[in-house]
Structure 1
Amino acid sequence: MDIRQLRYFVAVAEKLSFRRAAEQLHVAQPALSRQIQQLEDRLKVRLFDRDKRSVQLTAAGAAALGHARVVLAAMQELPAIAQRAAAGESGRIRVGFISLVAYEFLPALVREFRHSLPHVDVQMQEFPVMQQFDPLRQDQFDVAILRMLRPDPAIATYVIERAPFVVALPKGHALCRHQLLSVADLAHEDFISLPHTEGASFQGVILDLCRAAGFRPSVMREVGDSQAMMGMVGAGMGVAIVPETVRHLQTAGVEYRHLRDLTERAEIVLAWRQGQRNPLVDAFLQAAMRAFPPPATRHRRTDASAASQHA
């Protein structure tokens, strides 16, 4: 079976005349009849009831007509589909993300990407921050948006945000009376953190900050993700040093205070495998750069906006 036979079949079915169909197709009527006969032989059914006066579709012909039209329409679209895919304008991209970015960074980035490439299938899945780049190395995702704990030479990254650390406190805690705190003010508090892992980890960063302030937390309760951590704080089970972006979780019973003695920043990054072959990854990176320009560009835009407001 070939596409030409389907085209001939549809033409005859729509005209209900071999003569008029042959004229429309600019072929000889005997050649058209032979192609229809070959198609019927291939399908092992009769598509038309015909005599010297009329041509009518059989039940099998009527059933096949709709499918034939779908196939022909798909064939007409095939060049455009292939060209869009080759140009990185269609296809599929798999996006992994951690819960911390789901409320601000992920929606803005995906919205920007889909605005320029509406035909791309964007598949999104959450994963634990402690897995870091493992899902990328295992080809579970094409890109991932996460808080980077440690660099990896096999992974390329673009920094979306460098967020300052804040302390999350239970509402009504004595330290909530102060608008600005230091890490040393937390020396007698129970801490809540993500689990400890080998190498660099979120908990390791927090312990380093505490040691630099002259103490080690006597209690360190471990939870699986940022949402659980804020839930524990809201329940009054302890305090947590977290990136300021955690505020977007809007957890009930939690207040946040800045820490005057911390200059460290939590890096929220877009990450992908070095040497990846999906052209949509480049397009996703360009969307990230538009939605979240490099810091210097952001500052220039902010300054320009402020200047225009005062002009």
Structure 2
Amino acid sequence: MELRHLRYFVAVAEEGSLTLAAEKRLHTAQPSLSRQIRDLEYEVGAQLMIRSVRGIELTAAGRVFLDHARLALAQVEAAREAARRAAEPTKPSFALGFLTGQEMDWLPEAMHILRDELPNMEVTVSSQYSPQLADALTRGRLDVAFMRPEAQTPDLAYRLVTKEPLVAVLPSDHRLAACDAIDPHAIVGETFVSVSNTAPALRVVINDYLERSNVAIRPDHEVDNLAMAMSLIASTRGVAFLPAYAQNFMPWSVVSRPLEGEAPTIDLVIGYNKANASSTLKLFLSRVDELIARVSKKLGDHADGSEGDAR
């Protein structure tokens, strides 16, 4: 069994089609791809895929094998990335990742710590969805990420940064904007904007909160990012439940209000790969408590001095 067999198998499983995998992902001929899959099944000793009217479907053995194949490919990528970094020992580098929008609060203090300790270090920064950050950490492309704790990430460790309360976000001239706090039952019948699977952790928190509150409502729209959320809220006169940091992205036409009672929260964590032995990572983690304290103080000072509709 070779790595190419694993890559071919994962591509077919994700595309659900031999034709699409061959043309879009692998740039090879379909007969050759079919032969490689048959060779893989022979090596494994079990049928991994079957053809159906919906395309290619995984057998029970195939679903189990897919998880291990992805993990094996991720570990190979991590090893390759580690080797590349080791080949340039005189040029230290550190890769930071952020759930899009969180860098506004956390990047300046993170850079302060790194520049304070290692002024000549090359720091790279990326902004992505949380599942993508988890994948980049697993593959060794990032050292640290400010993200959500993602399910099924056994190679990663997480340290809690803060628990962010959710707030109601709605148009500034909405009837509920006059309320000091929003009762979740009040949004029944309103256009409800929720998040897509690009934010699985947040989606679970929102759905659990609605269920605990006995609010039966289905989203009218699902958004991939905060910019899209703000646009839809303003244009459809909708209401959304979003983490408090979304207030950094609110235009004048949109306001936030706290939720009545005990508001749901979502964890913001620092994620890193357990196998990452970087001395810079250890140094960074040793100063995480200081980082949290400094940012929390700044956010607290800002909240105390803020006025107007972003409550």
TM-score, structure 2 length as denominator?
0.60
CA distance in 1, matches of 2:251, 2:147: 20
The equivalent of 2:214 in structure 1 is 214
Q: In the TM superposition, what is the alpha-carbon distance from 1:227 to its structure 2 partner?
A: 2.4
Does the Cα contact within 8 Å between 1:189 and 1:239 map onto a contact in 2? yes
Question: 1:260 Cα shift?
Answer: 1.8
Please list the CA deviations of residues 82-105 of structure 1 after superposition, one character each: whole Å capped at 9, or x if unmatched.
9xx79xxx7101111121302112
Counterpart for residue 144 of structure 1: 145
Query: What residue number does 1:154 align with?
Result: 155
Listed as ranges, the matches of 1:88-237 within 5 Å are 91-131=92-132, 133-150=134-151, 152-196=153-197, 201-237=201-237
| Residue 210 to residue 147, structure 1, CA distance change in 2 (3 Å) | same
User: For residues 143 and 192 of structure 1, do their structure 2 counterparts lie closer, same or farther at Cα, with a shift above 3 Å needed?
Assistant: same
State the SS of the aligned residue for 1:139.
coil
Contact 2:99/2:133 (8 A) holds in 1: no
User: Is 222-231 or 169-178 further displaced after alignment?
Assistant: 222-231
* Structure 1 residues 96 and 129, CA gap change in structure 2 (3 angstroms): same
Q: State how far apart, in whole Å, the 1-side matches of 2:272 and 2:222 are.
A: 29
Partner-residue secondary structure (3-state), 1:260:
coil
Structure 1 unaligned residues grouped into runs of 5+: 1-81, 303-311
1:259 corresponds to 2:264: no
Write out the 4+ residue segments of structure 1 that deviate beyond 6 Å after TM superposition: none
Question: Quick check: 1:94–1:124 contact (8 Å CA) kept in 2?
Answer: yes
Using the TM superposition, give the Cα deviation of residue 193 of structure 1 relative to its aligned residue in structure 2, in angstroms: 2.3
Deviation string, structure 1 residues 62-85 (Cα, Å, up to 9, x no partner): xxxxxxxxxxxxxxxxxxxx9xx7
Q: Is residue 247 of structure 1 aligned with residue 254 of structure 2?
A: no
Alpha carbons of structure 1 residues 189 and 150: separation in structure 2 relative to 1, 3 Å: farther
How do 1:31-46 and structure 2 match up within 5 A? none
Matching residue's letter, 1:135: A
Contact 2:205-2:265 at 8 Å conserved across structures: no
Change (3 A) 1:132 1:185: farther
**CA–CA distance in 1 between the matches of 2:214 and 2:122?**
51
Q: Which amino acid aligns with 2:167?
A: V
Contact 1:99–1:126 (CA<8 Å) still a contact in 2?
Answer: yes
Equivalent pair of 1:91/1:121 in contact (CA under 8 Å): yes
The residue that corresponds to 1:4 in the other structure is none
Q: Which amino acid aligns with 2:256?
A: Y
- In 2, the alpha carbon distance for the partners of 1:244 and 1:116 equals 31
CA contact (8 A) 2:174 2:237 kept: no
Structure 2 SS opposite 1:180: coil
Equivalenced residues, count: 212
**Deviation, structure 1 residue 289:** 2.1
Q: Give the counterpart letter for 1:277 in structure 2.
A: A
Structure 1 contact 207–216 (Cα < 8 Å) conserved: no
d(CA) in 2 for partners of 1:168, 1:149: 25
What's the CA shift for 1:263? 4.1
Identify unmatched segments of 5+ residues in structure 2.
Answer: 1-85, 302-311
Secondary structure of the corresponding residue to residue 101 of structure 2:
helix
Aligned-residue CA RMSD (Å): 3.0
Separation of aligned partners in 2, 1:272 and 1:121: 18
Q: Distance in 2 between matches of 1:271 and 1:158?
A: 7
* Distance (whole Å) between structure 2 residues aligned to residue 279 and residue 255 of structure 1: 44
Between the aligned partners of 1:149 and 1:179, the Cα distance in structure 2 is 33
CA contact 2:147–2:269 (8 Å) conserved in 1: yes
Letter in 2 for 1:139: G
Alpha-carbon shift at residue 287 of structure 1 (Å): 3.6
Q: Contact 2:129/2:198 (CA < 8 Å) preserved in 1? A: no
Paired AA for residue 109 in structure 1: A
Q: CA deviation at 1:196?
A: 3.2
Matched residues, percent identical?
A: 21
Q: 1:206 to 1:166 in 2, by over 3 A?
A: same
